[in-house]
Amino acid sequence: MAEKPTLEMSRYCVPFTPFRGRLEEGSVCLVSTAAVHHESDPPFELDGDLTYRVIPGTARASELRVADAHYDHGCVDQDVNCVFPIDRLVELTREQRIGGITEKHFSLGFTQALRQLRDETLPHLVEEVRRTRPDAVLLTGG
């Protein structure tokens, strides 16, 4: 019996558009797969979750939590900025090194349902990111 091939996400191109503007005038949106969520939102399901969380641009690291058991997040427990650098982006805005941050950021949790993630979740997430009209998107992983 032939083994069913697995979906290899690496075979799919990560869309990339070079940023041609000035960072000092650009807005940045954070998108993470580190299972970060706002304290007021439900945590991700640890055994697999195809949803994403919207994190307000006004949130600070002290208001964020991590719901994941699939990577060592000892350093994240000390400072969530190492995977979701929201406070660092606020500092860069204050220093006028970036133009600002978007009103929404996004985070995904753990899943092994990669086809479903690709076909169902990611198109909705991409549309939400597009609506925030970022000049740059900073992708982080867990």
Task: Determine the pLDDT at residue 17.
Answer: 76
Q: Which two tokens stand for residue 135?
A: 């000049």
**Average pLDDT, stretch 24-30?**
96
83 vs 80: CA distance, rounded Å: 6
Which pLDDT value is given to residue 101? 97
Tokens of 71: 């990577």
pLDDT of residue 14: 63
Q: Is the pLDDT of residue 7 over 50?
A: no
Give me the pLDDT at residue 3, please. 58
| Helix ranges, the chain (H) | 74-78, 86-94, 114-116, 122-132
Mean pLDDT of the chain: 88
Question: Which residues neighbour 18 within 8 Å (Cβ) at sequence distance 6 or greater?
Answer: none
| Stronger pLDDT, 7 or 53, i.e. the higher one | 53
| Claim: this prediction has a pTM higher than 0.75 | yes
Q: In which residue are the tokens 């000390």 written?
A: 78
What is the average per-residue pLDDT within 23-29?
A: 95
Q: What is the structure's pLDDT at 51?
A: 94
Q: For 84-115, how does the pLDDT look when each residue is reduced to its tens digit (9 = 90+)?
A: 999 999 999 999 999 999 999 999 999 888 89
Q: Name the residue ranges covered by the structural domains of the chain.
A: 22-140
44 close to 67: Cβ distance less than 8 angstroms:
yes
